[in-house]
């Protein structure tokens, strides 16, 4: 069942992961960032596919911009750590993602995807035993988690629909702006634009000066 996690604690986990493209980590957890950094935690369906490498490489190309915003990027799919490692060490002109440096979590049990509500199917129990209906991979779910471990933004795309990394950066900017200034971010807000005070006077002032 699809979950709305916005405003709630992000589900915790410990899992195998590949870090810096070459290092196996057995007990990777988002808990290491609590109190320190925001986290962009995103799921993708499978290694060695078509849309997925475009997304992972696009996040890598903007990684310095996330880091400048005190935000880490972490990816996850239902593949094994060995599949991740092979994909990370395959050249891009052969469909690989060589050069991706942020952690990629191995959710081979599918429990992380289930807990985040993004598994593209579900298990059911019948007289014949446990069965699975649907596609046993993760939708393109993305969760922006703040320093307190609270999900502040989530978006879930169907398998064929790639995400916008620029929109993810915009949401990180909006979260940082709100936390630093106490103001809220109106429609189509971008870094450098004005926010507005969350009062009736504030919205009236904003609308009078920005809306024709």
Evaluate whether 78 touches 99 at the Cβ level (below 8 Å).
Answer: no
- Cα distance between residue 154 and residue 168, in whole Å: 10
Confirm whether 52 is a catalytic residue. Answer: yes
Q: Which of 52, 75, 113, 169 is catalytic?
A: 52
Which residue numbers are catalytic?
A: 52
């Amino acid at each position: 069942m699809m979950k709305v996690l916005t405003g709630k604690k992000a589900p915790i986990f410990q899992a195998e992961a590949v870090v810096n493209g070459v290092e196996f980590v057995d007990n990777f957890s988002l808990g290491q960032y609590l109190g320190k950094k925001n986290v962009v935690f995103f799921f993708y369906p499978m290694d060695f596919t078509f849309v997925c490498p475009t997304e992972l490489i696009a996040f890598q190309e903007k990684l310095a911009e996330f880091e400048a915003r005190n935000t880490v990027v972490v990816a996850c799919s239902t593949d094994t750590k060995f599949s991740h490692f092979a994909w990370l060490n395959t050249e891009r002109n052969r469909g690989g993602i060589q050069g991706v440096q942020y952690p990629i979590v191995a959710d081979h049990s599918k429990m992380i995807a289930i807990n985040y509500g993004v598994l593209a199917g579900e298990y059911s129990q019948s007289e014949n035993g446990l069965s699975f209906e649907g596609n046993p991979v993760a939708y393109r779910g993305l969760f922006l988690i703040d320093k307190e471990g609270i999900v502040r933004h989530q978006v879930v795309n169907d398998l064929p629909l790639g995400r916008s990394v620029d929109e993810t950066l915009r949401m990180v900017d909006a979260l940082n702006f709100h936390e630093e200034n106490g103001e809220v971010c109106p429609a189509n807000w971008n870094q450098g634009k004005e926010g507005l005070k969350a009062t009736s006077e504030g919205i009236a002032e904003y609308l009078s000066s920005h809306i024709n």
